[in-house]
Amino acid sequence: MSKPSPQRLHLVFGGELVDPTRSEFADVSKIDIVGMYPNYATAYAAWKGAAHRTVDDAHTRYFIAHLHRLRDEELEVSPTEELGN
């Protein structure tokens, strides 16, 4: 039996930035969580839609976070993760 391929989760989020040349949010409580997506193509489509809705606001920017890069299934789990098991 072959090993299943890992999920490639992507989070699309954005909001108003303090300065359009930096990636610091003006108010983190107002970050718009667009959604979580199973692959880059669907995340990109969601990002593009959110970015186009706010194209006239130079201080608003959306991002795609590659959540699958935050963890490597081959590495030993941290003590925090072990507590959840």
Give the model confidence (pLDDT) of 18-62 as tens digits. Answer: 998 999 999 999 999 999 999 999 999 999 999 999 999 999 999
**39, amino acid identity:** N
8 neighbors 40 (Cβ within 8 angstroms): yes
Confidence of residue 10 (pLDDT cuts 50, 70, 90): very high
Measured distance CA(53)–CA(55) in Å, rounded: 6
Residue 47: how many other CB atoms lie within 10 Å: 21
33 neighbors 15 (Cβ within 8 angstroms): no
The pLDDT value recorded for residue 38 is: 93
pTM above 0.85, yes or no: no
Domains and their CATH numbers in the chain: 10-72 (3.30.70.2400)
